[in-house]
């Protein structure tokens, strides 16, 4: 054993082992058969820091201590365990075998506890609790994927285990094909994770609870930046809207029908022969004028972008790519050719910093006319035939590698190039970037949508779990193709999907080419009206949703949060009937239900709850059978919950009424909510132009405080309407010491209105 900066290195009989301290709750383990290679990762943005408090070299073990963890390394045979300071085993190598190589494939086996559950791994099908299942990470273009399909488009080799009273996270930072086995086909004694090549290189997260583990995981792999506010609105997509008059008609229809919408997408038909960074001049003769018309109607335009560059002399991006040596090659120096939409293509090497810059600059073709959102597709990478030879070479930021290692980070690096490039081009405006393929850390650059799903009730429920799973894996800004990309939803499915979409971080309706139209008015008047009401609700909720996104940027806490984050030890939440339930932000519990049901069972965990639509009260830790007509998804607010709402607007550039409603639901336990607002468009928040205030409710002191505003941004709202739910006929209400009389809203709701200034306001009762 050798002590090194931040940790130790062990030279064992058959392996080198490095254990490094990143923080008292984050420890990294690297193991290889020979000398460890220079350290490099596309996912990780932190360096080892600090040191173990104490390192003890005993006869048969090494003990490394941090403030929060003990790492015990048994010497013969080599086994690594992680324990709490009190000595409870959190996670440890399986006693019988722990590390094995099969050819180049390296596997680590961990003891599996009798009651252990596993969540996470990003975009995966299957149940919330992944125990009994095995998964592969190899980014794959898989249209119409089924309920158990694996792998899909995204690889996030990070999971959270929870057993007894402890939880932990493991992130295997290896971009070769990786595999996770949570006790599938075994007799329940061990779980394992492996990589087909490269090092065993994992981060162990030992924070006390799951929010802490997510905080640490996103400290290591980065957090999202605040997205443009408009990207939280409703988004309309189709493969493809063209030509220009059709796009403008679509925009006008939203406004005429008074269905709020912020974004319209152009799919591949906007390009000339599917060549990226071009416009089809017949279909879109004057993109600048079209986009300014859209902007005037309050729409932002997002265009698709694919990595394959058509092989065609005279096509600027092809010529530049050849001249600047931007495309991936075989080891013999010949360029790789694969066919995608434009026909035969070369593929940019996004693992080369020069290529990322070149790609980023190419967006002027889109940004100059006014495009503000960039939809990165086919970046698994996908080419017809779906099997690019592993031997294709990549720069790997100077570390030189092949597709075997670069494949899973191709989408990440394409999204990074897109994000970094467009951020520069948009002059202080925030770009919106969307991607299909990704690797751990993608949240720093892009939102993720869950690829080509199908219009079935099962897909709807599966999408909810995928979004929640991406959430615990660091990716907050995510959602499925609302309504289903492939196939035709029934009216009921579409209406239900719309309601669940309202409580989904990324809300985009998309449909395959030649499929039935899926705009909200395409399913008859009844569904149109239900859709309108739900989208109105989304816009009412925007102050709440934006604050939840802000929280993600600060702590990594996802916007859609499986109940497992806060209730990991409650067995009920993993049951088939309840595993899809989640919190949307910190206060709202959503119990998704398929469109074919009008009555359903929900489970409400510890706490007390109010149904949001009618203020009906429910005790926690209990099941309830509730009505769920299409216009009333079972959505609950925690008692003590605090929810800011605004008036309905048709798009985010429209000024809402100056009244910010703050809804407080009575409860027994104090609660607080961090409200966040800024211009929603620029990076000026980085220099203090935001408005942040803590709203707190203390039922013991009988007070509600709208805290003093921090930051220099003048809020959009100048009045607040405090709406009290289930407080009864409270008397003696005072605002900053002055008596006020509450007004009656419904039998369960009372309200008062007063000026919203930057100073604190206290309401007592």
Active site residues: 377, 380, 452
Name the one residue in this structure whose structure tokens are 């906007």: 270
Q: Which is nearer to ligand GLC, 227 or 451 (CB)?
A: 451
- Site map 276..315 versus ligand GLC, x via CB under 6 A: ----------------------------x-----------
| Minimum CB distance to ligand GLC, residue 306 (Å) | 7
Question: Residue 734: phi, psi to the nearest 5?
Answer: -130, 140
CB of 303 to ligand GLC, least distance (A): 11
Chain Cα centroid distance, residue 427? 26
| Minimum CB–partner distance for residue 8 and ligand GLC (Å) | 46
What is the per-residue burial (b if ≥16 Cβ within 10 Å, else e) of 31-56? bbeeeeeeeebbbbebebeeebeebe
Q: How many residues bind ligand GLC (CB under 6 A)?
A: 10
CB atoms within 10 A of CB 148: 11
Q: Which of 131, 223, 436, 663 binds ligand GLC (CB under 6 A)?
A: 436
x/- track of binding to ligand GLC for residues 646-665 (CB under 6 A) = --------------------
Q: Is the bond into 151 cis (omega within 30 degrees of 0)?
A: yes
Nearest Cα neighbor of 550 from 661, 697, 694, 441 is 694
Please tell me the distance from the alpha carbon of residue 457 to that of residue 465, in angstroms, as a whole number. 13
Q: What is the 3-state secondary structure (H, E, C) of 560-575?
A: EEEHHHCCCCCHHHHC
- C-alpha 131: how far from its chain's center? 22
Residues 254-273 that bind ligand GLC (CB under 6 A): 267-268
The residue of the chain with the least Cβ separation from ligand GLC equals: 239
Closest by alpha carbon to 508, among 465, 430, 453?
Answer: 453
| In the complex, least distance from residue 488 CB atom to ligand GLC, rounded to whole angstroms | 16
Strand pairing category for 481-482 and 508-509:
parallel
Lay out the site mask for ligand GLC across 85-124 (x = CB under 6 A, - = otherwise): ----------------------------------------
Enter the tokens of residue 291: 């986009």
3-state DSSP assignment of residue 590: strand
Judged by beta carbon, residue 262 or residue 452, the one nearer ligand GLC is 452
Q: Which is nearer to ligand GLC, 144 or 212 (CB)?
A: 144
Measured from the CB of residue 452, what is the shortest distance to ligand GLC in angstroms? 5
Q: Identify which of residues 239 and 765 has a Cβ nearer to ligand GLC in the complex.
A: 239
Residues 130 to 149 in contact with ligand GLC, rule: CB under 6 A: 143
Least Å from the CB of residue 480 to ligand GLC: 11
Closest approach of Cβ 276 to ligand GLC, in Å?
A: 11
Helix/strand/coil for 469: helix
Q: Which of residues 703-742 bind ligand GLC (CB under 6 A)?
A: none
Strand duo 134-137 + 178-181: pairing:
antiparallel
**What ranges in 176-242 are assigned the alpha helix state H?**
210-221
Nearer to ligand GLC, 268 or 691 (CB): 268
225 or 452: CB nearest ligand GLC? 452
C-alpha separations of 465 from 159, 450, 534, 579, 631 in Å: 14, 11, 21, 8, 22
Residue of the chain from 157, 308, 360, 451 that contacts ligand GLC (CB under 6 A):
451
Residues 6+ apart with CB under 8 A from 283: 242, 243, 244, 269, 270
Least separation in angstroms between residue 142's CB and ligand GLC is 10
Residue 123 to residue 475: CA distance in whole angstroms: 10
* Residue entry with tokens 């803590």: 694
In the bound state with ligand GLC, the residue whose beta carbon lies nearer, of 167 and 376, is: 376
Q: In what order do the strands lie in the sheet with 338-340?
A: 309-310, 343-346, 338-340
Contact pattern for ligand GLC over residues 469 through 508, marking x by CB under 6 A: ----------------------------------------
In terms of CB distance, is 276 or 290 closer to ligand GLC? 276
Identify which of residues 193 and 506 has a Cβ nearer to ligand GLC in the complex.
506
Q: Name which position in 199, 452, 608, 661 contacts ligand GLC (CB under 6 A).
A: 452
The CB-of-267 to ligand GLC minimum distance in angstroms stands at: 5
Q: Which is closer to ligand GLC, CB of 7 or CB of 505?
A: 505
Q: Please give the Cα distance from 450 to 460 (Å, whole number).
A: 11
CA torsion through residues 84, 89, 95, 97, sign: negative
Site track 502-541 with ligand GLC (rule: CB under 6 A), x = hit: --------x-------------------------------
Report the alpha-carbon distance of residue 261 to residue 275 in Å, rounded.
28
Please give the Cα distance from 384 to 50 (Å, whole number): 48
Pair 376, 418: CB distance under 8 Å: yes
Backbone phi, psi, residue 410, to 5°: -65, -50
Helices (H) and strands (E) in the chain, counts: 11, 53
Using the rule CB under 6 A, is 377 a contact of ligand GLC? yes
Q: How far is the CB of 500 from ligand GLC (least distance, A)?
A: 19
Q: Three-class SS of residue 109?
A: strand
Residue window 230-249: x/- pattern of binding to ligand GLC, with contact defined by CB under 6 A: ---------x----------
For 562, 656, 750, the CA distances from 721, given in Å and listed in that order, are: 31, 14, 10
> 121 or 304: whose CB is closer to ligand GLC?
304
Pick the closest to residue 121 from 193, 184, 188, 186 (CA basis): 193
Q: Nearest approach, Cβ of 453 to ligand GLC (angstroms)?
A: 9
Q: Provide the CA 622 distance to its chain's centre, in angstroms.
A: 29
Angle at alpha carbon of residue 481, lines to 151 and 405, rounded to 5°: 30
The full length of the chain comes to 765
Task: Name the minimum Å distance from CB 304 to ligand GLC.
Answer: 5
Closer residue to ligand GLC in complex, CB, 157/451: 451
| Residues lying near ligand GLC in the complex (CB under 6 A) | 143, 239, 267-268, 304, 377, 436, 451-452, 510
């Amino acid at each position: 054993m050798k002590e090194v900066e931040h940790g130790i290195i062990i030279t064992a009989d058959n392996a080198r082992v490095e254990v490094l301290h990143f923080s008292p709750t984050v420890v990294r383990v690297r193991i290889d058969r020979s000398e460890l290679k220079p350290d490099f990762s596309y996912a990780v943005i932190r360096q080892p820091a600090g040191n173990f408090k104490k390192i003890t070299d005993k006869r048969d073990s090494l003990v490394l201590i941090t403030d929060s963890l003990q790492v015990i390394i048994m010497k013969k045979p080599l086994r690594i365990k992680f324990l709490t300071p009190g000595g409870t085993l959190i996670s440890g190598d399986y006693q019988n075998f722990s590390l094995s190589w099969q050819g180049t494939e390296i596997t680590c086996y961990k003891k599996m506890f009798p009651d252990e559950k596993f969540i996470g791994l990003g975009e995966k099908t299957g149940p919330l609790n992944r125990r009994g299942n095995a998964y592969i990470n190899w980014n794959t273009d898989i249209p119409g994927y089924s309920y158990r399909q694996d792998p899909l488009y995204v690889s996030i080799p990070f999971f959270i285990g929870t057993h007894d009273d402890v939880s932990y996270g493991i992130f295997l930072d290896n971009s070769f094909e990786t595999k996770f086995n949570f006790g599938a086909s075994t007799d329940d004694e061990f779980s394992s994770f492996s990589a087909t090549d490269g090092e065993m290189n994992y981060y162990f997260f030992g924070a006390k609870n799951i929010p802490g583990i997510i905080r640490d995981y996103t400290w290591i792999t980065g957090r999202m930046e605040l997205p443009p506010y408009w990207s939280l609105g409703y988004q309309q997509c189709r493969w493809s809207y063209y030509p220009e008059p059709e796009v403008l008609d679509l925009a006008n229809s939203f406004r005429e029908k008074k269905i709020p919408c912020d974004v319209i997408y152009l799919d591949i038909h906007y390009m000339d022969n599917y060549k990226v960074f071009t416009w089809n001049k017949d279909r879109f003769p004057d993109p600048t004028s079209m986009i300014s018309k859209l902007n005037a109607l309050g729409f932002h335009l997002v265009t698709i972008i694919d990595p394959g560059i058509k092989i065609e002399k005279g096509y600027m991006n092809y010529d530049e790519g050849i001249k600047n040596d931007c495309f991936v090659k075989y080891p013999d120096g010949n360029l790789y050719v694969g066919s995608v939409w434009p026909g035969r293509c070369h593929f940019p090497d996004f693992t080369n910093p020069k290529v990322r810059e070149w790609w980023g600059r190419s967006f002027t073709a889109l940004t100059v006319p006014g495009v503000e959102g960039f939809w990165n597709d086919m970046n698994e990478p996908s080419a017809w035939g779906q099997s690019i030879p592993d031997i294709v070479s990549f720069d790997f930021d100077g570390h030189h590698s092949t597709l075997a290692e670069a494949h899973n980070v191709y989408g990440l690096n394409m999204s990074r190039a897109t994000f970094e490039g467009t951020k520069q081009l948009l002059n202080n405006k925030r770009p919106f970037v969307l991607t299909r393929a990704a690797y751990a850390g993608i949240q720093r650059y892009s939102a993720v949508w869950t690829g080509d799903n199908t219009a079935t009730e099962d897909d709807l429920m599966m999408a909810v779990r995928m979004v929640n799973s991406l959430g615990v894996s660091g990716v907050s800004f995510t959602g499925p193709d609302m309504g289903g990309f492939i196939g035709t939803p029934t009216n009921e499915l579409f209406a239900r999907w719309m309601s669940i979409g309202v409580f989904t971080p990324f809300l985009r309706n998309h449909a395959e080419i030649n499929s039935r139209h899926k705009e909200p008015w395409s399913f008859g008047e009844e569904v149109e009206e239900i859709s309108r009401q739900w989208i109105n609700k989304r816009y009412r909720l925007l102050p709440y949703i934006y604050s939840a996104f802000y929280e993600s940027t600060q702590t990594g806490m996802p916007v859609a949060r499986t109940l497992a984050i806060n209730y990991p030890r409650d067995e009920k939440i993993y049951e088939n009937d309840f595993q899809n339930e989640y919190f949307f932000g910190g206060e709202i519990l959503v119990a998704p239900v398929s469109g074919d049901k009008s009555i359903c069972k929900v489970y409400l965990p510890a706490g007390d709850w109010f149904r949001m639509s009618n203020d009906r009260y429910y005790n926690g830790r209990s099941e309830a059978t509730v009505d769920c007509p299409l216009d009333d998804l079972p959505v609950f607010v925690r008692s003590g919950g605090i929810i800011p709402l605004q008036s309905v607007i048709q798009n985010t550039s429209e000024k809402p009424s100056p009244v910010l409603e703050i809804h407080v639901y009575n409860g027994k336990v104090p609660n607080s909510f961090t409200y966040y607002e800024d211009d929603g468009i620029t990076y000026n928040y980085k220099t203090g132009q935001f408005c942040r205030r803590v709203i707190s409710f203390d039922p013991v002191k009988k007070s509600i405080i709208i805290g003093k505003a921090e930051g220099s941004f003048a809020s959009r709202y100048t009045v607040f309407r405090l709406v009290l739910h289930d407080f009864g006929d409270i008397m003696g209400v005072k605002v900053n010491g002055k008596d006020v009389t509450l007004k009656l809203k419904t039998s369960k709701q009372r309200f008062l209105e007063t000026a919203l200034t930057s100073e604190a306001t206290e309401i007592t009762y």
